[in-house]
């Protein structure tokens, strides 16, 4: 299971064009380093199956329990301020649960 300290991005995440250069730098460092440093936000819908940090809906316990990629009710930590700009193959990430 992945703990919050070990949060990792996946190579299918991108940033929308509205992100500031500061956010772009934090996001790029996170992606390149596989480690999240500094302040962070809970970001829903960005984890691959089994790689969420927490909350994956009813019947799950927490970290590592998501059953599908980009599951809308599972969150992973992302660099502070970047979640609203993160794009997945399924659409935008969110700081709140993404309803199916």
Q: State the residue range of the domain holding 57.
A: 4-92
Task: Quickly count: other Cβ atoms within 10 Å of residue 39's Cβ.
Answer: 10
Cα separation values, 21 from 2, 45, 72, Å: 29, 23, 27
For the chain, which ranges sit under pLDDT 50? Answer: 1-6
Q: How far apart are CA 54 and CA 44, in angstroms?
A: 10
Question: Which pLDDT value is given to residue 2?
Answer: 40
| 66 in a structural domain | yes
Q: Is residue 100 part of a domain?
A: no
What pLDDT is stored for residue 8 in this prediction? 66
Is 97 among the domain residues? no
Q: How many domains does the chain contain in total?
A: 1
Using only C-alpha atoms, the chain has a radius of gyration, in whole angstroms, of 12
């Amino acid at each position: 299971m992945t703990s919050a300290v070990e949060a990792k991005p996946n190579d299918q995440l991108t940033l929308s064009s509205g992100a500031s250069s500061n956010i772009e730098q934090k996001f790029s460092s996170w992606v390149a380093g596989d480690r999240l440093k500094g302040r962070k936000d809970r970001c829903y819908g960005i984890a691959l199956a089994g790689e969420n940090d927490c909350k994956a809906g009813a019947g799950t316990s927490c970290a590592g329990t998501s059953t599908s990629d980009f599951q809308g009710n599972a969150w992973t930590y992302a660099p502070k301020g970047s979640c609203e700009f993160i794009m997945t193959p399924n659409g935008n990430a969110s700081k709140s649960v993404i309803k199916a």
